[in-house]
Structure 1
Amino acid sequence: MEKLTNKEEEIMHVLWRLEKAFVKDVLAEMKDEKPHYNTLSTIIRNLVDKGYVGYNAYGKTHQYFPIVTKEAYRKRFINTAISNYFNDSYKNMVSFFAKEEKISVEELKEIIELIEKNN
């Protein structure tokens, strides 16, 4: 599974949310800078080529749908990020977020409770 560009990820989030969509539907859902229709169509075709998106053809029109689930993508790239940036250590990752004040003591306690429940 290949890492997606930021724009490709943005489009995948729209497709995950909509489940099935034509290019015009994806364009309508995009929040930030909207690409030109033809550019968006090309990016979606690239997602098809990469194996992330499938489609149903209706004449010259295509309705697109995600093949890769959001959960599968998240799992793959969270693991890659932890490996690349935190030396394969979840402790280092949590410590980083604690130092950056991105996670509170209460949230850490909730995480500990979840871990203890699963053991």
Structure 2
Amino acid sequence: MKELKELTRVEEQIMQELWELGEAFVKDIIDKLPAPKPAYNTVSTIVRILETKGFVAHEAFGKSHRYYPLVSKEEYRTFATRKLLHGYFDNSARNMLSFFVEEEKLNLKDADELLKMLEEATQKKRR
């Protein structure tokens, strides 16, 4: 996996829309953003920053550019989750899950599903 950089909140918001759209012109991205809509130049600048960071590339159509992701949502999710786990939970999934339980973001049903997933993963490794 390539070396990723952390995205700002605004950059991540733009990437979320681009991941959903697959490819888009700046206008298409703006149309997907919640009101109040940012200025065209603002979004265009952010997209160019994302291009510099290696997250997007473009295809030129005269003076217009259609942008598309170079980094998948799954790649960035993995990066962000590892960073969160390392930075706030001492690389301990147990500490992270405990946090979500204490914050009531993880209920008994979710915990049961996670346990089943862990059991399945353990069985696969044994094979």
TM-score range, shorter chain: over 0.9
Is 1:22 matched with 2:39? no
From 5, 9, 22, the counterpart of 1:6: 9
Q: What is the count of residue pairs matched by the alignment?
A: 119
Counterpart of 2:25, as a letter, is: F
Q: Which residue of 2 aligns with 1:112?
A: 115
Unaligned runs of 5+ in 1: none
State the shift of 1:32 in Å.
4.5
Q: Which residue of 2 aligns with 1:78?
A: 81
SS at match of 1:57: strand
Task: State how far apart, in whole Å, the 2-side matches of 1:46 and 1:114 are.
Answer: 38
User: Sequence identity of aligned pairs in percent?
Assistant: 43
Single out whichever of 30-39 and 3-12 deviates more from structure 2. Answer: 30-39
Counterpart of 1:71, as a letter, is: E
Counterpart of 1:111, as a letter, is: L
- The alignment's TM-score, normalised by the length of structure 1, stands at 0.97
After TM superposition, what 4+ stretches of structure 1 lie above 4 angstroms from structure 2? none
Task: State how far apart, in whole Å, the 2-side matches of 1:67 and 1:115 are.
Answer: 31
Deviations 1:6-64 (A, max 9, x none): 11000001000000100000000002542110111000000001000000001110000
Query: What root-mean-square deviation, in Å, do the aligned CA atoms of Structure 1 and Structure 2 show?
Result: 0.8
